[in-house]
Structure formats: structure tokens, C-alpha cells
Structure 1
Amino acid sequence: MNRRELLAVAGALGLSPAWATQAAQGDAMAARDAYLYALPLIEMATTRERILKIPGAAVNALRHTRTLSDHTARWVTTPNNDTLYSPAFLDLSRGPVTLTIPPMGQRYYSVAVMDMFTNNNVVLGTRTIGGDGGTFTLVGPGQASTGPTPVRIATPHAWMLVRILTDGGEDLAATHKAQDGFVLKGPPGGPLAAYAARDAKPADYFAAARALLASDPAPPTDLKILRRTSAFLGAGPFSEAAAADGVDEAKMITVFARGRQVFTGGWAYPRPNLGDYGQDYLYRAIVALQGLGALPVAEAMYLKAAGDDGAGTFTGDGPYRLSLPAQLPLDGFWSLSMYEATADGQFFFTDNPIKRYAIGDRTPGLKRNADGALDLWIGRTDPGGDKSANWLPAPKSGPFALYLRAYLPKAELLDGRFRMPAVVKA
């Protein structure tokens, strides 16, 4: 129902024109909230379709990436350059799937299994089960399982993302052997439909959202928002004009999502509910767009630098400096990643002359100060001299963002007693 039709209804019922305006606005607000609520489902389906188009990829099967991500990796936003990925999209609707994890010793790894709403239902890895490995049975909703160590997954379809730490180069062969030790067994997955992407027409977007909700139903705790957005995510009908207005507003919110970030001492720290969002639908949508597949904070903390604008974007040529103490409060490792920003709010590695996409405590050849502290240099051109060893190249032009990953953070980083030094102009 468009605005003219609403005014006609208002007149027939003896209501004021203001009523029609309020009703139209209400429809647009519902459309906005429906778009944001469904965005994680849409992004998961889009990523699944993209990955399954790769030759050799299949449902209920691990696909091992054998090289570290670089500027050509565009299959998921904000990839890391620390670990090799082994993704698998799961179809549990036909029965449980069994995962065997090999002994990993001291090598860091994690196996995150996310439901279609992007919540981490479980993370199996160094932090949680140690380095001895084991066999686990992934069980969908309403299923029974007699397999070893059952793990309940909230939706019939899910995304498994294995991360295995590697130093690259000569370490790749050993990392590949570790990857090959992960075994996934289960019934063949059913055919998966293609769904509209986030930039589709509103009618197509909401049709895809409804289909995805039918395939992977929402939890009962989402009933309130589903009732409020039922015109778009349920049976309808809805006003196309209101849908268009609401979707436009939702997209503006995602574009300006950085405005929701609070920067403390030069960094935005993740919320405690990262990776397990509850009813924080807006935060969930923003992460799905800007950091799909994010781990919970106990596993890894993702920090975004404030940038030149104080809201997460760098535009200058540099050099910038990040001075870090000799030790950070971690049980794992850390890295600082450089990303070029795209117009739709996503981040990918940028091409550069030394093929360095991130810099961290495992980067060979870093020059430390006498006390063990570390000065990192960030800029579009080589800073020269001894600084070159600690240079993280920025894009030749355009905006960029810096993310620091801190794996297995200790309590003082998690609770804010330790704050990361700011990135400053040198």
C-alpha cells in the first residue's frame, strides 16, 4: 500500500492524514528492521553460494585453502593472514555429521561452527579441547544421535570454519598435513537454492529472507521481532514504497555503522557478545557485513584503529606509527592487518610491493627496540632505513582500515585493564 492508498483509507475511515503518514513510517521502520534482521542469513547464503561454486567444493565436505589469504581473496570480508582456512557448509537436515580433529600438539587451531544466524554454536580448538584432537558429532535441531561427543547446532544448515596457524613458507607442508587430518563424514547434503543478495530489489530480498527462514527457522526468542516484521518476513502483504524506504534506511545504517563504534584510546574494542549476539540484531547485521565469521572474544579480540577521522578510516599517506610493548597480554599471538575499504563497507587485503598484508609477533626480520618494544610503521611508501623491516604497506590510494587481532586474550585485555597504544601520525 502506497502513501496515496493510505490517505484514501484514512479518509474513508474518518482518520486524519497524519495517521496515514505514521502508518507509512511504521511500515518503513518494520522494513528497515526486517532487512537488518535477515542480513546475516543473506550474507551466509551468499558466501555459501560463492564457496560452493569453487571446483571441488561440496556440502558436508571440507575444502582446504593451501595458501595464506592475499589481496585476491574476496570470498569473505576481513580475512586473516595468520591461519589457513578450511571451510565447510553443513546440511544437517538429513542426519548428523561427524568431525574428527587430529592431534594438533602446540599448533594453534580453532573449529568454529556457526548457525545460519552467524552465532558461534561451538568453538573446538586449542583453547577449549586442547591439542589432543577427538571425534565430535554435529547434530541438527530435533535430531537424536548416538555418535561420539554430540554437539547441538541451532539450525539445520551451518558453516564450519577451521583455522590453523601457519608461518607460511617452509611451514606450509606441515600445515597441509594438519589440515588433511581433519575428517568430516555425513550423508550427502541436499540441493541448495540460490538466494538474492543484499543489493537485490526489496521484494526479491525479502522473498529470499522468507525462504531462508523456512529452511533455517529462527529461535523462539526472536518471536517479538518476527511478529513486528511479519509483513516482510512473514505472510505479508507489504507496501513496496515502504519496503524501499526501509531498505534504503537500513543500508544507510550499515554504511554509517562505524558511528556505533566507541573508540577508546585510539581503538574500537569488540562487544562481549561478538560471535554470539542474542537479540542484538543490529550489531549482528553490522558484523555480518564487515566481519562475517567473527570468533567470540574469548578466542580472539578484533580491534579497529580509530583512523584519521576518529571513526575507523585512514586517508593520509603516512607514515603512521604503532608502538607496542615487548609483550601483549595474550596466551596466543597477535597481528595487525591492513585492509582497503570498499564502497559497500567491506574490507579486503590490498596489493603492495612487498606482499605483506599483515604484520605481527611472528613476522620474520622485525627490528625491536633495546627493551624489546616494537615500533610498526604504516604508510603508502616505504619509510626507509631500519624502519623498512617494520613497514606495513597501505594502499597506493584511497581509504584504508587497520585491524589488530589478539588471539587467546588474557583477562586484563578482555576486561579493559590493558589498553592498546594508539596509532599516531609520525
Structure 2
Amino acid sequence: MNRRELLAVAAALGLVPGLARAQGADAATLARDAWLFALPWIEMATTRARVFKRGARPNRIYHRRKLSDHTDRSVTTPNNDTLYSLAWIDLTQGPVTLTIPASGQRYVSAAILNMFTDNDVVLGTRVNGGAGGDFTVVGPSQTATGDRVVRVLTPHAWILIRTLVDGPDDLAAARKVQSGFKVSGPKAERPPAYLERDADPAAYFATARALLAADPPRPEDAAFIQRSAGLLTDGPFDAAALAAGVAQARAVAKLASGRVAFVNGWSYPKPNLGYHGVDYGYRAIVALQGLGALPVAEAMYMKAAGDNNSGLFNGDGLYRLTLPAQLPLDGFWSLSMYEATADGQYFFTDNPIDRYAIGDRTPGLKRNADGTLDLWISRSDPGGERSVNWLPAPKAGPFSMTLRTYLPRADLLEGRFRFDPIVKV
């Protein structure tokens, strides 16, 4: 990639609303922006296909009965705090009913994401307290009555449910609550298979057009689609410009994690996480690096700056994170460890103590005399009293860490509270 192309990539990291709405953009720029615009549909379809390949069907719920570990590679940056349940729903045949159990003091959330990855609603502890109930989920043009009707902006959607596990001894009780989540609806056929993001440019956009036809974007997106020179509709396009633009788009996706703005060692989510509007660039990067992310009122995800503000750690030494005695949140917190893949995704890493995250429910953590907590991060056991507070890093290769805080309070949401950085000891 030459200097001009690199400059274009750098500019695209701040993609929209500026560039994506620019008049008179050249063909390669249009291809770049259109590739990123369509990426959420592609990633959702890819994730759905992986589930259906294992025998799942639409409008049925599937419960994962164990916490995610290093063997789970279907969704990037999973958590190790909650049991996941999921359903891919098809509303083209009629409404679907989502049953939420009474959960008491246990945190639960049921996020319903449309096919361009916005959270149309998040039900559960924050919204409904510990009460349960039946909710009617309807598509964009369907009608329903009652005070528990939830509207989704696309005919197909993803219900992603999280049930908190309060430590190893709580797994059986958590599973009992998890079993209370149910989905029922009309019988629907599995959708056709779609190509993935590594498809050649022409095939990628053919797939994108099919996905957008099945699950149309919002009216606010019409202006951008009109300027996509037929890529997102059905017009012809210059092959050379198409290839150049897609190469830039893939570079944007690969470099994005290194262009994050860090504050005192952490990146903080944008306020529109989970409700992206016309911020297509941010939406694309979230789809690639954190598909299914909750909105900030539900949870805040902070990524550590890593070595040299790259978002990745490469060192073989010892790192430390010090947390205050009290954090400004009403839920729970955890620090997760991920190995980084070449295409910009993150998964748990195998380790000798089967610890993929460390948090407020980790048994045996040792606090300092003033109540603060030192967490130790390294590839090998730091030894002594530090071992109980150890988060293992991969045996080799770059790694990333994400700090999750659930039900954050205003001080955290509004930036008055900031975490200390992870430091190399």
C-alpha cells in the first residue's frame, strides 16, 4: 500500500458522518466506505450461520450451560462472567414471544439486536428489575397490542441473553434461572448461506445486497446507499476501483484497534455504543471486534492501551493493575484476557489455572490494607502472594485486556471517574 493509500486509510478511521456523506468521492473511496457500511450485516449473518451449522433453528432458544473459555471461537471478545443464551429469530411469519424469568438480585439481560447490530431493546435487571414476564417481539411492519410489545427494526434479529454466575459454586443456581428464558414463535426456515468478509470484492457486495434486501437499513441510511455507486443496490462498478477500495477498507478494519484514543491507559466506549446511528465506521469496528456489545447504560467496556498505546501487549514481563476499594457501579466488574488474532479479533487463551478473567466474584482475591486491589498479569505465575491475584497471559504472542463494568453509575458514564493504567513492573 502506497503513501496515498495509507493516508486514505488513516482518514477513514474517522469514517462517518463526514466521509461517508461526502459528495464527489472517488470510486475507491465509495467502495471502501460501502464495504465498512455493510460489514455489520455480514458479521451477523456469519455468526448466525455458525450457530445454524451446529443444528440450531430459527425462533428457538439455545442455552450455553458453561462459561466461555479458550475453545469458544464463534463470537469475538466473549465474557467469562455470564452464561449465554441466544436465539436467532425470524419475524417474517409473525411475532415471537420472549419469556424472561424472575431473577431476584441476580443480574440478567436480554438484548435484542437488529441485523445492523443496534440494540433495539435490552430487557432484564436494569429495565425490569428482578421481575420477569412475557414480551411480544414484532417486526418493523407488524402490529401488536399490550404493554409488553418490543419492536425490532429488521425482520430478522438476534436475542443475546446474559445470566450472571456469582462464582464457581453458583453455577447450578445460575443455570436454573437461565432455563427460565424461553422463545416461542412460528416455524421458520433457516436462511440461505452467505459469504463472509474475506470474500472477493464483487462477491462480498453481492452478498451485502442480498442481506440488505432481506433486512433493510433505516430510512436515514438512504442517502449513503444512493451515493454508493450501485455497490449496495445493483449498479455496475469499476473492478480496479473496487479492489483498491476494499483493500483500504480491510486495512481500516485491521488498523482500527491501534487508532483508539486512550485516556490514562484505557479506551472508553463512545456514548453511542449499541445505538450507532450514522456512525458507520464505529459500527463496523464494533461488529468486528465486539459483536453483540451492550449499550453503555448496561455495561461499559474499557480496552487497555497496551504497550505504546497500540491496544496490544507484547511484553514477557510482569504487569499490574491497581483498582480502588470501591468502583462506581451497581453491578459487577471483570478484567478479561484475550489473545489477538491476525484479523483483529480476540478470544480467550489457554492457561494452566483455567482463569480467563478476574473480577469481583473471583474467590480468594487478596486486597491491600487500604482496600485497594492489585491484579498481576504475566505469561507465567508471578509466585508468592501475587499468585491468587494473577491473570494469565498467553504463552506467546500479542494479547489484549478488556475491563467490563456492569450497570455503571453516572461518575463512570460521564467521565468523572477514570481507572489507573496497567503498568509494567
**TM-score clears 0.5:** yes
1:171 aligns with 2:170: yes
Task: Tell me the equivalent position of 1:155.
Answer: 154
Give 1:38's aligned residue.
38
2:407 aligned with 1:387, yes or no?
no
1:222 aligns with 221
Query: What is the CA-CA distance between 1:168 and the residue it aligns to?
Result: 4.9
Equivalences for residues 298-309 of structure 1 within 5 A: 298-309=297-308
Cα shift at 1:58: 1.4
> Separation in 2 of the partners of 1:77 and 1:191?
23
Whether 1:47 and 2:47 are equivalent positions in the alignment is yes
Match of 1:8 in 2: none
Whole-Å separation in 1 of the counterparts to 2:257 and 2:179: 39
Opposite residue 53 of structure 1, the aligned amino acid is K
Instruction: Please list the CA deviations of residues 145-200 of structure 1 after superposition, one character each: whole Å capped at 9, or x if unmatched.
Output: 24661111000000000000013533221111111111211101233011110000
**In 2, Cα distance between the equivalents of 1:203 and 1:325?**
52
Separation in 2, partners of 1:361, 1:54: 34
Query: Are positions 1:256 and 2:255 aligned together?
Result: yes
Match of 2:187 in 1: 188
- Aligned 8 A contact 1:135 1:148 in 2: no
State the 1:218 CA deviation: 1.0
Contact 1:319/1:383 (8 A) holds in 2: yes
CA contact (8 A) 1:63 1:87 kept: yes
Q: Matched residue of 1:263: which SS?
A: coil
Q: Distance in 1 between matches of 2:24 and 2:154?
A: 34
Residue type matched to 2:50 in 1? R
RMSD across aligned positions (CA): 1.3
TM-score (norm 1): 0.93
User: Structure 2 vs 1, CA of residues 230 and 140 (structure 1 numbering), >3 Å: closer, same or farther?
Assistant: farther
Alpha-carbon distance between aligned partners in 1 of 2:300 and 2:386, rounded to the nearest angstrom: 27
* 8 Å CA contact 2:302, 2:402 repeated in 1: yes
SS at match of 1:309: helix
1:242 Cα shift? 1.1
Is 1:342 the counterpart of 2:325? The answer is no
Cα 1:170–1:259 change in 2 (3 A) is closer
- Whether 2:98 is the aligned partner of 1:93: answer no
Structure 1: gaps spanning 5 or more residues? 1-22
Q: Per-residue displacement from partner, 1:277-309 (whole Å, max 9, x unpaired)?
A: 000000000000000000000000000011112
SS of 2:173's equivalent in the other structure is helix
Which amino acid letter does the alignment assign opposite residue 333 of structure 2?
W
Larger Rg: 1
C-alpha displacement at 1:99, in angstroms?
A: 0.8
Residue-pair matches, total = 403
User: Aligned residue for 1:28?
Assistant: 28
Amino acid across the alignment from 1:33: D
Q: Is there any run of 5+ residues in structure 2 with no aligned partner, and where?
A: 1-22
What residue in structure 2 maps to residue 69 of structure 1?
68
Contact 2:167/2:362 (CA < 8 Å) preserved in 1? no
Q: For 1:223 and 1:24, locate their aligned partners in 2 and report how far apart those are by CA, in whole Å.
A: 17
Q: Within 2, Cα distance between the matches of 1:25 and 1:99?
A: 45
Structure 1 residues 32 and 178, CA gap change in structure 2 (3 angstroms): same
Task: Give the match's secondary structure for 1:128.
Answer: helix
Tell me, what secondary structure is at the counterpart of 1:158? strand
d(CA) in 1 for partners of 2:190, 2:310: 42
> 2:126: which partner in 1?
127
Q: Which moved more, 1:259-268 or 1:242-251?
A: 259-268
Q: How many Å apart are 1:25 and its aligned residue?
A: 7.5
Tell me the CA shift for residue 94 of structure 1: 0.7
